[in-house]
Amino acid sequence: MRRYEIDWIRNISILLLFIYHTSAIFCQFGDFYIVSEQTNIFANIFILLLFVWYMPMLFFLAGASTYFALEKRSLKDYLQERIKRLLIPILFGIIVLIPPQTYLARLWRGESNLNYFEHLRFFFTNIGDFTGFDGGFTPAHLWFIAYLFIVSVIGGIIISKIFKSSIGTNLLPLIKKVLLSKLSIPILLLMGFASDIFPSIMGKSIVGCLTIFILGYIIYQDHIFIEKIKENRYKFLFAFIFTGFIGIIYALVLREEKLSILSWVVVDY
């Protein structure tokens, strides 16, 4: 049975990307290719409300979709589909769509008399921190597609070879027991902290994205998880509003203060 909430959440999220990246121009936190000299309070709030959970949610939904995909396809067909839908678009985007963006970034930062074709050579031969804010090589906003391709390949293999094998028969009930226990939130938090130990690119942990992807698969392969989410949806909504409010107050009012361990937790996690 098709889960239409996955389609709706994904489509709404993609539309939100237009607002998100536009808001990044007027946001006072972090850097971007072009940054307005004047910040906007609504842009700040919008970014603060979304940036922590927005992209992880998309990886979660990708894992959920993988459950349905691998129910109808072999691993080989699944991987071939990932190549057509993810790898080819990311290669096209990096060659055609991203260089103009980094070209404008160099112009905005004061470099004048730039020849676009000279910039192309600079773009493909200068690899730094992968942000591309200096005009160097970057996947830019298409990092999600690049990560999703890698995560889908690794995650698809793990799911097919472990969770859909005899090992999974014993492993999945154990994971289900843990996730439905009172220790689920501390364990998930520890998993998030542990994933940050591994190297990241552009500040994004591929191990963390893979973990969320696999959790999406696990949650959707058992309807009990979905029922539990529906039962507690108002509690989750309250938690979102409360923690979002605390995060906004911290970022806009208390961020410059020396808050020791609180600062470390809020900023890094």
Do 216 and 243 belong to one domain?
no
In sequence order, what E strands does 134-240 have?
200-201, 204-205
Given this model, what pLDDT does residue 157 score?
A: 95
Do 201 and 84 belong to one domain?
yes
Q: How buried is 106 (Cβ within 10 angstroms: 0-12 exposed, 13-18 middle, 19+ buried)?
A: buried
* 100-157 per-position pLDDT tens digit: 999 999 998 888 888 999 999 999 999 888 888 888 999 998 999 999 999 999 999 9
Do 21 and 151 belong to one domain?
no
With a cut of 70, which residues of the chain have pLDDT below it? 1, 254-269
Contact 160, 73 (CB under 8 A): no
**Does some domain include residue 225?**
yes
Do 108 and 177 belong to one domain?
yes
Name which of 187, 188, 206 is nearest 197 in CA terms. Answer: 206
Do 89 and 212 belong to one domain?
yes
Given this model, what pLDDT does residue 260 score?
A: 46
**Does some domain include residue 66?**
no
Please tell me the distance from the alpha carbon of residue 248 to that of residue 3, in angstroms, as a whole number: 33
Do 47 and 101 belong to one domain?
no
Please tell me the distance from the alpha carbon of residue 48 to that of residue 245, in angstroms, as a whole number: 10
Please tell me the distance from the alpha carbon of residue 80 to that of residue 105, in angstroms, as a whole number: 35
Given this model, what pLDDT does residue 223 score?
A: 86
Do 15 and 32 belong to one domain?
yes
State the total domains in the chain.
3
Given this model, what pLDDT does residue 255 score?
A: 65
Tokens at residue 53, please?
């959970």
**Does some domain include residue 65?**
no
Do 41 and 118 belong to one domain?
no
Q: Residue type at 254?
A: L
**Does some domain include residue 251?**
yes
Given this model, what pLDDT does residue 269 score?
A: 45
Name which of 32, 158, 20, 30 is nearest 102 in CA terms. Answer: 32
Given this model, what pLDDT does residue 148 score?
A: 95
Do 85 and 152 belong to one domain?
yes
Please tell me the distance from the alpha carbon of residue 177 to that of residue 269, in angstroms, as a whole number: 26
Do 159 and 91 belong to one domain?
yes
Given this model, what pLDDT does residue 31 score?
A: 81
Please tell me the distance from the alpha carbon of residue 149 to that of residue 3, in angstroms, as a whole number: 22
Residue 36: which domain range?
A: 1-52
Contact 115, 106 (CB under 8 A): no
**Does some domain include residue 64?**
no
Do 189 and 243 belong to one domain?
no
Do 133 and 263 belong to one domain?
no
**Does some domain include residue 63?**
no
Q: How buried is 45 (Cβ within 10 angstroms: 0-12 exposed, 13-18 middle, 19+ buried)?
A: middle
Given this model, what pLDDT does residue 256 score?
A: 60
**Does some domain include residue 61?**
no
**Does some domain include residue 102?**
yes
* pTM for the structure as a whole: 0.86
